[in-house]
């Protein structure tokens, strides 16, 4: 029994990793193409991230003279491994995660820190002054966006605990009880505010414009990755795509966990498929999930990247520690007042 469970977990992890790598690179290609079109450029082909990855894999990995070799080589592996590990705790297309368990939403917040820490360690280990500055900036950025992100998660869990009860710190449980179905008007507004805060946190979490101060090409020569090349740089590149896929999946699990098959069953009978109806349901739900991932990427990354310039590190700290934190706290307060407001007014 334990052997079978372990086998399923290993196979499932490999399949999830391949899916995340493929679609992560695909969405990176779509993002680059859309941004180019929005800025009046032709842009690279959508397959360009795959070509870049293959090219880097075939190139020599050059070791900097002053690098701490073991840390320099371990950082990209840890970054990619932690990025894939995230997917084992996040429900994909309504399917229970492979490592489903109590409190996994808190664990996911900690795991999201590991890829950033691996990049910081790799930057320091490379011995480059540009990478050192980038690593320092990444640590400051990371400390800035973690607090509003924690407020968002706690607000959702608190509201679900009040309305539904149960294992509210489980991502799968949260995805099975959408916040929109458990709030009134004030709570709905509060949830929208929390969603906005999470959308602003997303480019910081993924080191995208306008919060890519740690990799500022025009200022610090690509910062953290200045001394990386060959396979090590390819692993960081792949990990970035996986993190994009994982972050979009997290937003979907928290705010948009709906599937398409329950709606289709109201209008279309799947009885003619017999025992294969569940396969059809999984395919439809997964395609719908990919559409949601694309939309999250479009609004949280692509449109922001196309329309904004890079912020200074001081502006990044101000935005996250003050502005976004206060916005997230406002959303939390509205969720807290939701029931009380409606009870006092006699609307419920």
What is the domain partition of the chain in residue ranges? 2-345
In this prediction, residues 284-299 reach a mean pLDDT of: 91
Q: Residue 95 pairs with which residues in a beta bridge?
A: 92
Q: Which tens digits make up the pLDDT trace of 6-21?
A: 777 788 888 889 999 9
Mapped onto helix, strand or coil, the DSSP state of residue 102 is coil
DSSP state at residue 238: H
pLDDT over 70, % of the chain? 90
Kindly tell me if the per-residue pLDDT of 26 is higher than 90. yes
Q: What's the mean pLDDT in 139-154?
A: 87
Q: Which two tokens stand for residue 309?
A: 């310039």
pLDDT 10s digits, 332-347: 999 888 776 654 444 4
The alpha carbon dihedral of 40, 45, 51, 53 has a sign of: positive
* Token pair 């941004």: residue: 35
Q: Which residue has the higher pLDDT, 331 or 281?
A: 331
Confidence of residue 271 (pLDDT cuts 50, 70, 90): low
The alpha-carbon radius of gyration of the chain (Å, integer) is: 21
Phi, psi (5° rounding) for residue 193?
A: -65, -40
Higher pLDDT, 270 or 17: 17
Report pLDDT for 347: 41
pLDDT higher for 165 or 176? 176
Per-residue pLDDT at 244:
92
pLDDT in tens, 116-141: 889 888 888 887 788 888 888 888 88
Per the prediction, the chain carries an average pLDDT of 84
Tokens linked to 243: 């993190």
Give the whole-angstrom CA distance, residue 121 versus residue 135: 8
**Exposed / middle / buried, residue 40 (Cβ in 10 Å: 0-12, 13-18, 19+):** exposed
Lowest-pLDDT range, 179-188, 257-266, 305-314? 257-266
Question: Could you give phi then psi for residue 68, rounded to 5 degrees?
Answer: -85, 100
Cβ(306)–Cβ(34) below 8 Å: yes
Residues 6+ apart with CB under 8 A from 51: none
- Helix 230-255 vs helix 104-125: crossing angle, to nearest 10: 160
The whole-angstrom distance between residue 230's C-alpha and the CA centroid of its chain comes to: 25
More confident residue, 261 or 147: 147
**Structure-token pair, residue 115:** 């890829």
Average pLDDT over residues 66-82: 88
């Amino acid at each position: 029994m334990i052997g079978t469970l372990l086998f399923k977990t290993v196979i499932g992890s490999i399949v999830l990793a391949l899916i995340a790598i493929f679609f992560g690179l695909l969405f990176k290609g779509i993002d680059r193409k859309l941004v180019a079109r929005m800025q009046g450029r032709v842009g690279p082909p959508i397959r360009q991230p795959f070509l870049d990855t293959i090219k880097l894999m075939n190139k020599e990995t050059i070791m900097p003279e002053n690098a701490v070799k073991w840390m320099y080589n371990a950082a990209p592996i840890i970054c990619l491994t932690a990025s894939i590990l995230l997917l084992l705790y996040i429900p994909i297309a309504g399917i229970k995660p492979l490592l489903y368990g109590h409190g996994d939403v808190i664990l996911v917040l900690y795991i999201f820190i590991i890829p950033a820490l691996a990049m910081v360690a790799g930057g320091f280990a490379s011995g480059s002054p540009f990478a050192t500055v980038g690593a320092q900036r990444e640590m400051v950025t990371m400390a800035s966006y973690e607090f509003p992100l924690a407020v968002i998660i706690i607000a959702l869990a608190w509201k679900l605990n009040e309305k539904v009860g149960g294992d509210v710190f489980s991502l799968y449980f949260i995805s099975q009880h959408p916040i929109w179905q458990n709030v009134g008007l004030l709570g709905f507004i509060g949830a929208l505010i929390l969603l906005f805060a999470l959308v602003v946190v997303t480019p910081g979490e993924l080191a995208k414009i306008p919060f890519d101060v740690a990799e500022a090409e025009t200022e610090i020569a690509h910062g953290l990755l200045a001394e990386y090349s060959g396979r090590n740089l390819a692993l960081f590149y792949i990990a970035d795509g996986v993190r994009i896929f994982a972050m979009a999946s997290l937003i979907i699990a928290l705010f948009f966990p709906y599937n398409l098959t329950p709606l289709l069953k109201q209008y279309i009978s799947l009885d003619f498929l017999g025992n294969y109806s569940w396969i059809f349901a999984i395919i439809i739900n997964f395609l719908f999930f990919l559409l949601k991932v694309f939309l999250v990427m479009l609004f949280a990354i692509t449109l922001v990247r196309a329309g904004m310039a890079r912020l200074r590190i001081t502006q990044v700290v101000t935005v996250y520690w003050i502005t976004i934190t206060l916005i997230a706290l406002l959303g939390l307060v509205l969720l807290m007042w939701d029931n009380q407001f409606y009870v006092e007014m006699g609307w419920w």
